[in-house]
């Protein structure tokens, strides 16, 4: 279990051996071999190399306020709950029937994963209080409902994880009230979107609802907030929560040596780009001087994650501690902008190099295969007892490869409480083509994919060339099935997962 998503690469650079420890693809830290260095916790979100470039193809106008110094998109990343946004889930031509919905979320707003050394940590309260902003009409009843959670069936080790955040001074990585509110809001959006489609009947059975999460408290709590927004006062006794130890949600199919090799190539690419960026090096050196640590210590603390937390919570950037040589000096928005600029370069370079896409194909196959299987089951006649609503609660390092595997190249880095939704639809009897045998099984099936409420179906690799104006306004499920079962592996010159994974 340990080390599955932690890679240790030894690079010999100029005679100096540096241990490069990476939690994930997006996370590449230079950490000196000194044993005193604090290592990031296992299974944390990968952040450092994060892609935060503005999407070049937004369909909706940006409604969030522009931030200072043209780094406006942090607010989009923060996903501040005051934004009114559109949700296109549940939209279809008239009389189509919704058969299944599968949702993958990233946890909501959280405390930073690492502290910037020698600075005061951001003061954020991680207890929940309906009278504090941002709040939500469901927050008070959510808090009391979570107190009854012992009645659910929790797969180990989930039963021991607190069901709401409850520290007056947040712990590292803890979900904040903002994060809870984001997912109450998401769940409620989907409740409204599907209210006319009767996706889960009021007498739903435990089999019809599938929930899985990694064992971080922030993913468990985010999943619960989402579920509560979706089904307020749900019956705990019918809820089974499965545990996914891998952030890739790969279940029992995680073993894939070739995937790890693509990841290592990607990490080497990222490292080379970074060390060749003189402005970035200088910026880290300046920042380190301000707070009074070595540049490599600052880098290892992944300062961008902490700075984003300050921005999301309206706190000013940290300053040198009193009594230090540089007392009074603070980290600046200009320094932040340089790191963000490098992240955008990194994203472009990543797309050009292609290792990440190959990694993503192999990383996300098990989840996509599972998604396809659930859709097929839900489409069968008499499928009433199959899983029709699924929720997977993961991380940025879950959503990023999922977007890449689907061929969604232009989507922005998964913000807090991001959501990917898979919908399965069946056309009405009148629209069925001639030759269909029954009014159920033979009727054409369609898939829709949405990212943060936006319909991205026709940007995916398997439906990009579908002509939605000629005849079929939706994307045929068949396109998705042949993509998952075979076509997606052409990116790694293979025809199956087994073949691609075992290749030398
Ligand atoms: C929404 O939140 C952002 C970030 O905290 C803030 O800058 C903005 O003023 C808020 N907008 C409204 C309408 O409250
Ligand atoms: C939260 O923590 C406080 C103080 O430790 C405790 O009294 C309270 O019962 C806790 N609430 C929940 C819901 O766990
Ligand atoms: C893919 O799904 C099928 C069921 O449709 C299952 O039998 C198979 O084991 C899955 N393969 C992997 C690698 O997960
Ligand atoms: C793709 O795979 C085939 C058969 O495994 C092999 O002959 C061919 O050289 C490979 N092509 C590339 C570009 O790797």
453-478 pLDDT, tens digit per residue, is: 999 999 999 999 887 776 778 999 99
| pLDDT greater than 60 at residue 434 | no
Q: How far is the CA of 166 from the centre of ligand 2 (A)?
A: 6
Which domain-ending residue is among 331, 353, 375?
353
Q: Contact, 45 vs 395, CB < 8 A?
A: yes
| pLDDT greater than 60 at residue 175 | yes
What pLDDT was estimated at residue 433? Answer: 53
> Could you tell me if 119 and 223 lie in one domain?
yes
Tell which wins on pLDDT, 55 or 146. Answer: 146
**Quick check: CB of 497 below 6 Å from ligand 3?**
yes
What pLDDT was estimated at residue 322? Answer: 74
Task: Please provide the average confidence, as pLDDT, over all residues in the chain.
Answer: 83
> Could you tell me if 227 and 278 lie in one domain?
no
Q: Is residue 18 part of a domain?
A: no
**Quick check: CB of 166 below 6 Å from ligand 2?**
yes
What pLDDT was estimated at residue 324? Answer: 64
> Could you tell me if 111 and 246 lie in one domain?
yes
Q: Is residue 371 part of a domain?
A: yes
Residue 477 to residue 475: CA distance in whole angstroms: 6
List the structure tokens of 71: 């780094």
> Could you tell me if 479 and 376 lie in one domain?
yes
> Could you tell me if 363 and 477 lie in one domain?
yes
> Could you tell me if 201 and 261 lie in one domain?
no
pLDDT in tens, 350-380: 999 999 999 999 999 999 999 999 999 999 8
What pLDDT was estimated at residue 383? Answer: 61
What pLDDT was estimated at residue 405? Answer: 98
> Could you tell me if 387 and 497 lie in one domain?
yes
Q: Is residue 178 part of a domain?
A: yes
**Which of 166, 168, 175 is the pocket-test mutation for ligand 2 (most atoms within 8 Å of CB)?**
166
What pLDDT was estimated at residue 441? Answer: 55
What pLDDT was estimated at residue 328? Answer: 77
**Quick check: CB of 65 below 6 Å from ligand 1?**
yes
Three-state SS at 391:
strand
**Quick check: CB of 483 below 6 Å from ligand 3?**
no
Average pLDDT over residues 135-146: 98
Confidence of residue 73 (pLDDT cuts 50, 70, 90): low
Indicate which ligand has the atom closest to the C-alpha of 358: 4
Q: Is residue 52 part of a domain?
A: no
Q: Give which of 153, 141, 147 is closest to 187, Cα–Cα.
A: 141
Is 107 considered catalytic here?
A: yes
What pLDDT was estimated at residue 466? Answer: 82
Query: For 5, phi and psi rounded to 5 degrees?
Result: -115, 30
**Quick check: CB of 77 below 6 Å from ligand 1?**
no
What pLDDT was estimated at residue 104? Answer: 98
What pLDDT was estimated at residue 127? Answer: 98
Residue 177 to residues 56, 108, 139: CA-CA distances in angstroms? Answer: 31, 9, 9
From atom 9 of ligand 1, which residue's Cα is the shortest distance away? 65
Which among 48, 73, 107, 305 is annotated as catalytic? Answer: 107
Q: Is residue 436 part of a domain?
A: no
Which domain-ending residue is among 297, 321, 353?
353
What pLDDT was estimated at residue 430? Answer: 63
| pLDDT greater than 50 at residue 18 | no
> Could you tell me if 189 and 136 lie in one domain?
yes
Q: How far is the CA of 227 from the centre of ligand 3 (A)?
A: 27
What pLDDT was estimated at residue 385? Answer: 79
Q: Is residue 67 part of a domain?
A: no
Most confident range (mean pLDDT) of 119-123, 180-184, 321-325 is 180-184
Tell which wins on pLDDT, 352 or 68. Answer: 352
Is 185 considered catalytic here?
A: no
Residue 462 to residues 254, 259, 473: CA-CA distances in angstroms? Answer: 24, 22, 15
pLDDT in tens, 237-269: 999 999 999 999 999 999 999 999 999 999 999
Q: Is residue 12 part of a domain?
A: no
Which domain-ending residue is among 309, 327, 353?
353
Q: Domain containing 475: what range? A: 86-253+355-429+441-502
Tell which wins on pLDDT, 221 or 53. Answer: 221
Atom of ligand 1 nearest to the CA of 82: 1
List the structure tokens of 95: 């009389």
Confidence of residue 326 (pLDDT cuts 50, 70, 90): low
| pLDDT greater than 50 at residue 34 | no
> Could you tell me if 483 and 362 lie in one domain?
yes
Which among 310, 346, 396, 459 is annotated as catalytic? Answer: 396
Three-state SS at 180:
helix
> Could you tell me if 239 and 264 lie in one domain?
no
| pLDDT greater than 50 at residue 68 | no
Q: Contact, 162 vs 221, CB < 8 A?
A: yes
From atom 8 of ligand 2, which residue's Cα is the shortest distance away? 166
Q: Contact, 223 vs 182, CB < 8 A?
A: no
Atom of ligand 3 nearest to the CA of 250: 14
pLDDT in tens, 376-427: 999 987 766 799 999 999 999 999 999 999 999 888 889 999 999 999 999 9
Q: What is the DSSP string of 59-105?
A: SSPP-SPP-GGG--HHHHHHT-TT------TT--STT-EEEEEEEEE
> Could you tell me if 101 and 238 lie in one domain?
yes
> Could you tell me if 362 and 469 lie in one domain?
yes
**DSSP structure class, residue 31:** E
**Quick check: CB of 215 below 6 Å from ligand 3?**
no
**DSSP structure class, residue 234:** -
Q: How far is the CA of 444 from the centre of ligand 3 (A)?
A: 23
Average pLDDT over residues 201-213: 94
Residue 279 to residue 335: CA distance in whole angstroms: 10
Q: How far is the CA of 367 from the centre of ligand 3 (A)?
A: 10
What pLDDT was estimated at residue 22? Answer: 27
Q: How far is the CA of 494 from the centre of ligand 4 (A)?
A: 8
Report the CATH number that the domain containing residue 470 is assigned in CATH. 3.40.50.1240
Q: What percent of the chain has pLDDT over 90?
A: 71
Q: Is residue 40 part of a domain?
A: no
**Quick check: CB of 79 below 6 Å from ligand 1?**
no
How many domains, the chain? Answer: 2
Q: Contact, 367 vs 246, CB < 8 A?
A: no
**Quick check: CB of 367 below 6 Å from ligand 3?**
no
| pLDDT greater than 80 at residue 118 | yes
Q: What percent of the chain has pLDDT over 70?
A: 80
Residue 463 to residue 473: CA distance in whole angstroms: 12
């Amino acid at each position: 279990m340990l080390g599955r998503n932690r890679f240790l690469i030894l690079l010999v650079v100029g005679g100096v051996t540096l241990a490069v420890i990476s939690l994930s693809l997006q996370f590449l830290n230079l950490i000196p071999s000194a044993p005193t260095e604090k290592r990031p916790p296992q299974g944390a979100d990968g952040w450092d190399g994060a892609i935060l470039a503005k999407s070049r193809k937004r369909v909706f106008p940006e409604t969030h306020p522009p931030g200072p110094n043209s780094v406006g998109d942090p607010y989009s990343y923060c996903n501040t709950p005051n934004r009114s946004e559109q949700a296109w889930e549940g939209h279809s031509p008239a009389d189509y029937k919704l058969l299944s919905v599968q949702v993958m979320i990233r946890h909501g707003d959280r405390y930073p994963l690492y502290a910037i050394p020698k600075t005061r940590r951001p003061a954020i309260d991680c207890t929940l209080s309906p009278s504090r902003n941002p709040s939500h009409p469901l927050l008070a009843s959510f808090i009391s409902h979570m107190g009854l959670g012992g009645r659910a069936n929790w797969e180990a080790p989930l039963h021991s994880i607190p069901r709401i955040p409850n520290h007056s001074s947040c712990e590292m990585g803890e979900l904040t009230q903002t994060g809870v509110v984001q997912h109450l809001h998401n769940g409620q959006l989907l409740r409204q979107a599907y209210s006319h489609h009767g996706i889960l009947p009021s007498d739903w059975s435990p089999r019809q609802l599938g929930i899985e999460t990694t064992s971080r408290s922030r993913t468990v709590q985010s999943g619960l907030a989402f579920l509560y927004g979706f089904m307020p006062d749900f019956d705990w006794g019918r809820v089974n929560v499965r545990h996914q130890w891998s952030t890739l949600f790969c279940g029992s199919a995680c073993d894939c040596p070739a995937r790890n090799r693509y990841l290592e190539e990607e990490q080497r690419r990222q490292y080379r780009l970074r060390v060749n960026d003189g402005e970035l090096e200088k910026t880290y050196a300046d920042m380190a001087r301000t707070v009074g640590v070595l540049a490599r210590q600052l880098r290892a603390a992944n300062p961008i994650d902490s700075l984003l937390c300050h921005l999301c919570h309206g706190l000013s950037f940290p300053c040198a501690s009193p009594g230090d040589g540089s007392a009074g000096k603070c980290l600046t928005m200009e320094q932040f902008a340089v790191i963000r600029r490098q992240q955008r370069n990194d994203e472009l370079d990543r797309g050009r190099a292609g290792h990440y896409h190959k990694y993503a194909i192999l990383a996300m196959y098990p989840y996509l295969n599972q998604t396809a299987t659930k859709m097929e089951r839900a489409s069968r006649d008499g499928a009433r007892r199959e899983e029709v609503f699924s929720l997977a609660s993961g991380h940025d390092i879950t959503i990023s490869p999922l977007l890449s595997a689907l061929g969604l190249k232009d989507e922005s880095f998964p913000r807090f409480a991001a959501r990917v939704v898979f919908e399965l639809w069946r056309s009405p009897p009148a629209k069925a083509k001639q030759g269909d045998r029954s009014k159920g099984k033979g009727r054409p099936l369609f898939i829709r994919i949405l990212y943060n409420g936006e319909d991205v179906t026709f940007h995916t690799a398997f439906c990009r060339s579908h002509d939605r104006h000629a005849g079929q306004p939706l994307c045929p499920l068949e396109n998705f099935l042949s993509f998952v079962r075979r076509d997606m592996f052409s990116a790694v010159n293979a025809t199956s997962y087994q073949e691609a994974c075992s290749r030398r």
